[in-house]
Structure 1
Amino acid sequence: MVEASEMETPSTKIFIPDQWSDAAETIVRSSVDCPIAFICGPKNSGKTIFARNLVNVFLTRHKKVAYLDTDVGQPEFNPPGLLSLTVIDKLNPDLSNPCLETPKRCLFFGDISSKRSPAIYWSFVASLWDDYKRELLRSCIPLVINTAGWVKGIGYELLVEMVNHISPTHVVKIQISAERKNLPFGAFWSNDSNADSIRIIEIDDAHRDHLNRSVLTKKDGRRIRDFRIMAYLRQCFPSDYDVPKFGELAFALSALPPYEISIASIKIRHLHCQIPPSERFYSLNGTIVGLAVRSSTRCELHDCVGLGIVRGVDASRGVIFVVTPVPSAMLEKVDQLLQGFLQMPPCLLQARGCTSPYMSMSVRAHYKPQKPQPPPSPPSPPRPPKKPVTFTLHGETWDDEYGWMSQLHDKVAMRHMDVYLEQEEKYAEAVMYDSERLLAKLQGEMSSRLAAQLSTPALRWGPWLYYRRVEEGKQYPVLCRRMASLHEELISNKSPSAGFDFISGKKIEQKLIDYNLEAERFGGYAYEALSEVSPDHRYIAYTMYDKDTNCYKLSVRDLNFGSLCERPQANRVSGVAWAKNGQALLYVVTDNKMRPYRIYLSTIGSNEEDVLLFEDPREDVHLKLRHTKDFQFLTVNAFSPESSKIFLINAADPLSGMKLVWEGEPNVHCIIEHHQGFLYLFTNASLRGQSLDHYYLLRSRTVPSCGERKWEIAFIPDQDLMMEDVDFCNTHMVLIVRSGRKYGLCSIDLPLKNQKVGCHLRELNPRNLPLPDHVSRIFPGPNYDFYSPTMRFTVSSPIMPDAVVDYDLVNGKWSIVQQQNLLYERTRILYGSSERHNPRLASKSFPQVDSRDDDDSEWYDLSEYYACEEYDVPSHDGVLIPLTVVYSRHKKIKDDGTPGLLRGHGAYGEVLDKRWQSELKSLLDRGWVIAYADVRGGGGGGKKWWDDGRREKKMNSVKDYISCAEFLIEKGVVNRDKLAAWGYSAGGLLAASAINVRPDLFRAAILKVPFLDPTHTLMQPILPVTFDDYEEFGYPDDIEDFRAIREFSPYDNVGKGGGSVYPSIMITSSFHTRFGVWEAAKWAARVRERSIYDDDRAVVLNLMIEPVEDNAYLQCREAAMETAFLIKTLGNVPFQIPGIK
């Protein structure tokens, strides 16, 4: 390296080597319509000089040139920490000259390197590239892309991602004399699909320009960044203001009167780190911040209009003092202060004769606080037009005044619908106008509780560990795997091979499916319905929702090569199962009404047409396909209103035909497993002509000895013990059981001993597996590895975050492999095989006897902070309804003014979700009570419990819910005027129906994508209605079902009791849900019309344009909106638990 003392006297000219000039001319004169030049190379190689020179050469042939600057350390036209897209239309000097151009779009990254948050950095780059494609590429404006000099490690991976994503026409690689610092020779991005379409130009560095750029040190880089920041801040003064030295400029800046920004009018975001709310102003003071405007279309990307220096914070007045060159007209639009890791130039901190960096009281005295704007007057809800549509059925005729909202093929109606929904959005914004600060606070609370590492625990199957993880800054997860026998540090590799990299000495992670890339295939959304890896681990079959065809499309990916197989490619696929050890795939196809009715066989790698194995043309028959856990057989369930049948297919020879192995009555659950020559049937069907209200297990030999199949009961459960589910491995059977409300988990050795017919469960010596208290649900894990004795289950509780637990059924060890600890806001995850042990995680051996009395303090439950109580509430007919109540231990449950939220579902025989949900913590910590009503129609009470709450008995569910609400009020658990209802999907129907019957019981309600108009939806379905929907709510053609539907339908019964005051209601709906947005719109309009209007009881339609299922940020935002609405309506109780932040 050349020492500073040896440097030559700088030249007044810029040296451009002939090789560089030739390279620039080659790019500019290329035959492509719109050249895109990607310039890369190590630090101090001259990328800046070449890029500037290339821009000037472009301008000799083009009127405009676009410049995408991805170097956050030393950007060309902006101060450090920014990424920008700039359009240049005049020649520029071939040296860095910040602030010369105003960018078309600028994003604040807040750091001088992408190392801290590479995923966020990449999302910024991709967004700017999308802007160029959308706005400039069609005008054939050439693009120059400047990159950072970090070409090793993550920096190298980012360059590879950029080239593969952008596919430029030219890649210019500048090499320096130190070869080890250069990029690899040739097409370093190694993507064969675009290697031929990209021209590579390799040139040497200029060695030395007039600033001796090739020998700049890190200290010089810091000085250049300081220079750029100071040059930017120089714009705070008129151009004729004479400040020749940095010190003078620093003094002038310190004396400059700052702008006052109201804290209430902005949102403060700390990038790349979490700052406790109590410390945010200390962290903000005396720092460089980005001034941004919130984007209405981009969730995390905010357009930056400039930088500012926070000169002081006056918390008592609620103002922040900012010095910035941003014009006041533009500053009025700023609603975001973004803080990163940009360092203040030392000269600003060393200025003498002024207070730095804090604001002195004498300066503050010159400014008067702005008067707060008065709140807007209460808005009037929108009133959609009435255009009655007449319906007639079973001799009854009625008009639906808002029926036009569902006429999707009527262009005029849809234009009116667009106008109406826009009015609803504005009305919702006006109603929530005074809750913006509360909403921001809640969203911050909820986002801070998200798992630190969004990943599923690795699941072992054979030699592989499979798991999903969400990369930082990405919306969708990535399905990955790696070899289970290796425990070294991971590196990510997109090539299909996976194993061990002997050169780097690190394990390689194989990305199987990147759902962010799948979203690009399917119109921006990545909804996976199912995925199945073949038993030989060679292929994966999965279905993705295609919004263009409104169905799920089947794809098969070769995991050895990472490519999609040509066959099969099918639409409307509802199920898949592998056969012939992964050489063949069976899949189920639905008709236009989403009824599964055909089964095809596809041979992987063959050019032959897929074979139709089975088809049932009857419109009331639905098929379901699965494989047994040992992959020996495939089972086909055929359900109809008349019967339930199960057929068996030999997986080794699927063309040998289907054999009927069991037939029973309709509306029963039945599933078959195979183990060492026996078939096991888990069902709740009638037994020997007697109807049962619980599940039991039958078994039969796979090949009957006498030709006629005989099913025998495997065992009889003990008294008061109900089987809920069963799972198998080669050595054990695991039962999920329940006695009353108490769940249990026990294992039984396989094969079963030759016990007498009808023996009791206790005679099989079951081993009880340890569980915590207050278990509300146990879910079996995927447990793909049939020959592994370790089985995984997820244990749920209202006062404990879900725990994913591995039980080794042979040696008695158990481990919690994933559970979020809300006390410390972290998630613990164990990666590795079942043999690997982490002493920091809960791990014990369980004996043959029940170990419930053991110390289970290893479970991360929250029982020290929250209490869970259970009640039996008598309903209208005397049936006892289970009610679970959760509240904070740090408040008295019968305090006056206690608000409460009553949740319910009661449909499809599904158990009510009572799992711990971190977003509810914001309500619990504010003194709320959360109650769960297990009404009839749901699960947990047997088949009769479901039957007593569906079809013509659906009103039982509604009356059960009302009885639970009355109980909470009468017992003083919740204040009479502070009870809110909550329901999701079919649970929304439950809550809305209860409000119709007893609007006086509820003060507020949250209805999430609710089913509100069953009459018209079931009569004339616009979106597909399934067999399960009709079985749950009834068939309108049946007169008894029709009358029941008209009785419980929320839309048909609004205001039936006369002029009533309805509670405040927020209805969350989306264009991406099963139930159309028109149902929510119709119900909201009718409630406003037929109830007594009250400004304090608004009915708000909260429209979610984007789907939230796979987006944690959007889920937090939606939950925060609903929680803010509840607190705004019912009032807030201060935090009761100082020990938990």
Structure 2
Amino acid sequence: MRYTILPLLSTFALFSCQNESNEMVQEPDARKISTRLEKHGDIRIDEYYWLNQRDNQEVIDYLEAENSYREAIMKGTEPLQEKLYEEMVGRIKQDDSSVPYELDGYFYYTRFEEGQQYPLYCRRKGSMEAEEEVMLNVNELAEGHSYYQVSGISVRPDSKMIAFGVDTLSRRIYTIHFKDLETGEIIEENIPNTSGSSTWAEDNRTLFYASKDRQTLRQDRIHKHKLGTDAGLDSEVYYEADETFTTYVYKSRSKKYIVIGCGSTLSNEYRTIPADSPDEEFVVFHPRVRGLEYGIAHYKDHWYVRTNHDNATNFKLMRTPVSSTGVENWEEVIPHREDVLLENIEIFNDYLVTDERTQGLNKLRVIPWNNPSAEYFIPFEEETYTAYIGNNPQFDSKVLRYGYSSLTTPSSVLEFNLETREKTLLKEQEIVGGYDKTQYRSERVWAVAEDGVRVPISLVYRADMKQDTGNPVLLYGYGSYGYTIDPSFSSSRLSLLDRGFVFAIAHIRGGQYLGRNWYEDGKLLKKRNTFTDFNTCGQFLVDEGYATKSSLYAMGGSAGGLLMGACVNMRPDLYNGVIAAVPFVDVVTTMLDETIPLTTGEYDEWGNPNDAEYYEYMLSYSPYDQVVAQDYPAMLITTGLHDSQVQYWEPAKWIAKLRDVRTNKERPLLMHCNMDTGHSGASGRFEAFKEIAMEYAFLLDLQGISE
């Protein structure tokens, strides 16, 4: 065996984890096997490198031992976990359905049935009063599978067939299947090893899709499939040779073009063909240039280009004739603005709608084509919220569909009449059992970082339970890839708020909450800003009396798990407990291994450690490498055996090293490894709440809350 089990009496005072019989609880202790890793003359000794053998039964045994240990330690919280789970599931409208949208004479929607884990994808012809047609009942398809995920449902132009992707392992490797909507049969023909998404040409016979490199899982090829032929004979229409890029394919909203997109952190490139001529050669829209980012949308005689061309850091909108797409023909529609990030656009016959971010808040701007000076913004009233452009498939519509949510307002779908400016609420997420938003408060405050930069924090709490000082506070963060964690509603979060917790989001650098520069200042050789920003936010909440160090908790997942690891290494005294979900913590080793999914495509995010400067900088914050002999807060670490984004061995190695090095053995270090799933957790809509209930129980028990 490559690990041993050491006895540890559960002395963790607040955890109701001692067995009633006062039995000894066994703490896993991974065996050390030294592996010498050398780069740039620097030598690292990794004593847990052996845990990266997914097919080694000894590794599986160790992961299962970790699960058994966590279950034993948290056994006393099982009634609380069950209560939390029942609360969360009890708030869900089980027979819920989405707002229908019209496309090609059909109204499409998704609905759930009472007690069922998976959705039904449905449509009605002509109107919502017509007979329902169930295109896919995922509950039936998922029978016998511990994990089942459907992705990329693509309706053929004649509306008689769909293609859809299926993943049964949670590695994000999909097999495309076909269903004849006239006969109701899923035909035998299928295409393995794809991204799950596919795009029909207008001939109703040709399908384009992306396949993956089987080792790195990079989407590197676009294929063309002819219905009724062997997928093994599919022609390759594009190969992306640059390992820092991925590729994908889609159809323009106008349905006039098939588009192959290629993207890296810093650059984009597109190729197009007419959608009714699937056998033509793809033509490059504009060749890639390092640092040039752009996206394209077709409308009538022009392509509209959202781009950072010519130092437009926050992006601007250009357009170019369909016949001449070279950058020399691009003309400005919306100029670059230093204080406004242009995030998205939606084009209608009579209006242009933009999704812009100013001082962290989304704003939807309406610009009439025939009178641009008559532009206006759709009004929003809350101090902190999120709004976004929804599904608008029709160019000739006078109505914009958009989404809205806040920390106190359930997710909503609205329609806004662009002419009359009348707003209609189509659907607001129903909270079963009732929900009174007036009982909750949200606000936005600002902390000051080490370099003087002001960092925003969004907060929500139950007004009648918030204390003047010393509340239990859960601070959440991410801070990578320019991805913004917007302040949106969560029904499961009510279980924390109703027990007196304050929930806070730290809008730290590395995201784009305050514009593109906010992202640029939190990556590569400025990555440490992300971590110091988060700790600054935590210290601010303590200094301002929202929390104390004994009531402040932190949580983040994936790259946010890296955030957790770096922050507790830097300020272990600041947090009473930490949840690190699927954490990316072994930064240097992973980024040196080009066979691991995501590595090469993320050199422009983290840096390439084959360069000594980046190697040294990464090493300075890599959570696994920077574990030192000090007291650490209580931690719950989650992972999935089949995770394709962050390999399971990163958190497994991390917790093993933490246990060995830390100086406070009485604080719990727990790991939950889901042996059936990957990065996104369980596939069923109720199963995911079991893990959330476990995480909340961990926090509540640390805080001494047992009910």
Aligned counterparts of 1:1047 and 1:799: Cα–Cα separation in 2? 39
Question: 2:648 matched to which residue of 1?
Answer: 1077
Q: Match for residue 1060 of structure 1? A: 630
Q: Is the 8 A contact 2:224 2:234 kept in 1?
A: yes
Q: Using the TM superposition, give the Cα deviation of residue 1124 of structure 1 relative to its aligned residue in structure 2, in angstroms.
A: 1.0
1:386 aligns with 2:32: yes
In 2, the alpha carbon distance for the partners of 1:1020 and 1:1048 equals 18
Partner in structure 1 of residue 305 of structure 2: 681
Residue aligning to 2:7: none
> What is residue 628 of structure 1 aligned with on the other side?
252
| 1:1092 CA drift (Å) | 1.4
SS of 2:142's partner is helix
Q: CA separation in 2, counterparts of 1:929 and 1:1117?
A: 22
Q: Which residue of 2 aligns with 1:732?
A: 351
- CA deviations over 1:934-980 (Å, ceiling 9, x no partner): 11111222222212212222111011111111111111111221111
1:768 to 363, 373, 377: 377
* Structure 1 counterpart of 2:539, one-letter code: E
| 1:651 and 2:275 aligned | yes
CA spacing shift, 1:1038–1:635, aligned 2, 3 Å? same
Return the alpha-carbon distance in structure 2 between the equivalents of residues 1053 and 718 of structure 1: 40
Deviations 1:60-97 (A, max 9, x none): xxxxxxxxxxxxxxxxxxxxxxxxxxxxxxxxxxxxxx
Which amino acid counterpart does residue 364 of structure 2 have in structure 1?
Answer: L
Which residue in 1 is equivalent to 2:316?
696
Match of 2:400 in 1: 791
Q: 1:548 to 1:894 in 2, by over 3 A?
A: closer
Of 428, 431, 435 in structure 2, the residue corresponding to residue 819 of structure 1 is 428
Question: How many Å apart are 1:1106 and its aligned residue?
Answer: 4.2
Q: Which residue of 2 aligns with 1:558?
A: 180
Alpha-carbon shift at residue 549 of structure 1 (Å):
9.2
Counterpart of 2:109 (choices 450, 459, 467) is 467
| TM-score (norm. length: structure 2) | 0.90
Q: Which residue does 2:591 correspond to in 1? A: 1018
Measured at CA, do residues 946 and 994 of structure 1 come closer, stay the same or move farther in structure 2, by a change above 3 Å? same
**After superposition, what is the alpha-carbon deviation per residue over 1:800-832, rounded to whole angstroms, capped at 9, x for unaligned?**
11112223435544322222244x536xxxxxx
The amino acid across from 1:820 in the alignment is Q
User: How many angstroms apart in 1 are the aligned matches of 2:388 and 2:118?
Assistant: 24
Go from structure 1 to structure 2 and tell me whether the alpha carbon gap of 1:868 and 1:548 turns closer, same or farther (over 3 Å shift). Answer: closer
SS of 2:689's partner is: helix
Distance 1:802 1:708, change over 3 A: closer
SS at match of 1:382: strand
Cα offsets for 1:835-882 (capped at 9, x unmatched): xxxxxxxxxxxxxxxxxxxxxxxxx882x2122121221111112111
In structure 2, how many angstroms separate the alpha carbons of the residues matched to 1:440 and 1:590?
Answer: 40
CA deviation after TM superposition for structure 1 residue 697, in Å: 0.6
> Is the CA contact (8 Å cut-off) linking 2:408 and 2:442 kept in structure 1?
yes
Rounded Cα–Cα distance in structure 2 between residues aligned with 1:515 and 1:620: 35
Between stretches 1119-1128 and 803-812, larger displacement belongs to 803-812
Q: Is 2:32–2:48's contact at 8 Å kept on the other side of the alignment?
A: yes
1:483 & 1:973 partners in 2: Cα distance? 54
- The corresponding residue for 1:338 is none
Contact 2:522–2:530 (CA under 8 A) maintained in structure 1:
yes
- The aligned residue for residue 395 of structure 1 is 41
What code does the residue aligned with 2:295 have? I
Q: CA separation in 1, counterparts of 2:200 and 2:505?
A: 40
Contact 1:568 1:610 (8 Å CA) reproduced: no
1:629·1:674 contact (CA, 8 Å) conserved in 2?
yes
Distance 2:306 2:568 in 1: 39
Q: Which position in structure 1 is the counterpart of 2:167? A: 545
| 1:882 pairs with one of 447, 452, 456 | 456
Distance 1:629 1:420 in 2: 50
Q: Is the 8 A contact 2:176 2:191 kept in 1?
A: yes
C-alpha distance in 2 between matches for 1:808 and 1:743: 19
**Secondary structure of the residue that 1:800 maps to in structure 2?**
coil
Instruction: Find out whether 1:927 has 2:496 as its counterpart.
Output: no
State the partner residue of 1:97: none
Q: Secondary structure at the match of 1:465?
A: strand
**In 2, Cα distance between the equivalents of 1:644 and 1:550?**
23
Give the Cα separation in 2 of the matches to 1:1022 and 1:1090.
Answer: 30
Cα distance in 2 for partners of 1:646, 1:443 equals 46
Counterpart position of 1:91: none
Of the three residues 276, 280, 284, the one matched with 1:660 is: 284
Letter matched to residue 38 of structure 2: T
- Residue 793 of structure 1 aligns to which amino acid in structure 2? Y
* Residue 514 of structure 1: aligned partner: 137
| DSSP-derived class of the 1:485 partner | coil
Matched, 1:1093 2:664: yes
Give distance in 2, aligned partners of 1:866 and 1:642.
Answer: 41
Q: Do the aligned residues in 2 keep the contact of 1:924 with 1:930 (CA within 8 Å)?
A: yes
Deviations 1:764-806 (A, max 9, x none): 4224324341453223323334444433222121111111222
Q: Distance in 1 between matches of 2:624 and 2:39?
A: 17
Rounded to whole Å, the distance in 2 between the matches of 1:1106 and 1:779 is 34
* C-alpha distance in structure 2 between counterparts of 1:892 and 1:603, whole Å: 61
Q: Counterparts of 1:1048 and 1:382 in 2: how far apart (Å)?
A: 26
Structure 1 residues 646 and 421: CA distance shift in structure 2, 3 A:
closer
Query: Deviation of residue 594 (structure 1)?
Result: 2.4
Q: Look up the equivalent residue of 1:672 and give its one-letter code.
A: I
Q: Matched residue of 1:987: which SS?
A: helix
Select 2:148's aligned residue among 518, 526, 535.
Answer: 526
- State the number of aligned residues: 684
Alignment root-mean-square deviation, CA = 2.8
Contact 1:984 1:1007 in 2 (8 A): yes
C-alpha separation in 1, matches of 2:152 and 2:228: 21
Contact 1:799–1:861 (8 Å) recurs in 2? no
Match of 1:967 in 2: 540
Judge which range, 926-935 or 584-593, deviates more. Answer: 584-593
Q: Which secondary structure state, in structure 2, belongs to the residue aligned with residue 572 of structure 1? A: strand
Shift of 1:1062: 0.7
User: Shift of residue 374 of structure 1?
Assistant: 4.1
2:147–2:683 contact (8 Å) kept in structure 1: no
Q: Which residue of 2 aligns with 1:711?
A: 330
CA distance 1:591–1:456, shift in 2 (3 Å): same
TM-score, with length taken from structure 1: 0.57
- Contact 1:680–1:699, Cα closer than 8 Å, also in 2: yes
State which of 36, 40, 62 in structure 2 corresponds to 1:420: 62
SS at match of 2:484: coil
| Aligned sequence identity (%) | 29
Q: CA deviation at 1:439?
A: 2.1
Q: Match for 2:296 among 658, 672, 677?
A: 672
Q: For the Cα contact (< 8 Å) 1:872–1:880, is it kept in 2?
A: yes
2:364 pairs with 1:745: yes
- Change in Cα spacing, 1:437 to 1:518, as seen in structure 2 (3 Å) is closer
User: Match for residue 867 of structure 1?
Assistant: 441
Cα distance between partner residues in 1 of 2:389 and 2:178: 26
Q: Secondary structure at the match of 1:1002?
A: coil
Q: Is the 8 A contact 1:375 1:434 kept in 2?
A: no
Q: Is the 8 A contact 1:462 1:785 kept in 2?
A: no
By how many angstroms is 1:481 displaced?
Answer: 1.0
Contact 1:743 1:775 in 2 (8 A): no
Q: Deviations over 1:971-991 (max 9, x none)?
A: 111122111110011101101
Aligned to 1:595: 218
Structure 1 counterpart of 2:161, one-letter code: Y
Change (3 A) 1:373 1:601: closer
Show the 5 A alignment for 1:947-958: 947-958=520-531
Aligned residue in 1 for 2:557: 984
CA distance in 1, matches of 2:416, 2:556: 35
| Paired AA for residue 891 in structure 1 | M
Deviation at 1:1034, TM superposition (A): 2.4
What does residue range 76-225 of structure 1 map to in structure 2 within 5 Å? none
Conserved 8 A contact 2:585-2:624: yes
CA contact (8 A) 1:572 1:591 kept: no
Map of 1:342-491 to 2, 5 A cutoff?
Answer: 374=20, 376=22, 379-409=25-55, 414-487=56-129
